[in-house]
Amino acid sequence: MTTHHHMQAALRRQGRDAPARRADALEFRLLFAALLPVFLAVETLARLKPGRRPPEVSGTRRGSVWEEAKAATYRAVPLAFMG
């Protein structure tokens, strides 16, 4: 289940009305669309940084630049709804 689905489930549990849920879902998607290019650039620059050890040397398996940027965005966007 994605973070977006978790957010939708939490809103349903809170008993919020449908228009408010739709507005929050739209806000989530807009924030996601705005932040994804930022995280994509950050991940690309991190991969190009000199001295970065390749995954096969460091023993860690990383996803593609797209997967890592998308995962970082899904971790960051829900923080805007906390509080």
Question: What would the DSSP string read from start to end of 33-81?
Answer: HHHHHHHHHHHHHHHHSTTPPPHHHHT-----HHHHHHHHHHHHGGGGG
Q: What Cα–Cα distance (Å) separates residue 26 from each residue in 4, 20, 50, 68?
A: 11, 10, 39, 23
- State the Cα angle at 28 between 25 and 32, rounded to 5°: 140
Cα(47)–Cα(67) distance, integer angstroms? 13
Write the pLDDT tens digit of every residue in 23-60: 888 999 999 999 999 999 999 999 898 876 666 665 66
Distance of CA 17 to the CA centre of its chain: 25
Average pLDDT value over all residues in the chain: 82
Confidence of residue 82 (pLDDT cuts 50, 70, 90): confident
| DSSP class of 14 | T
Q: Look up the pTM and report it.
A: 0.67
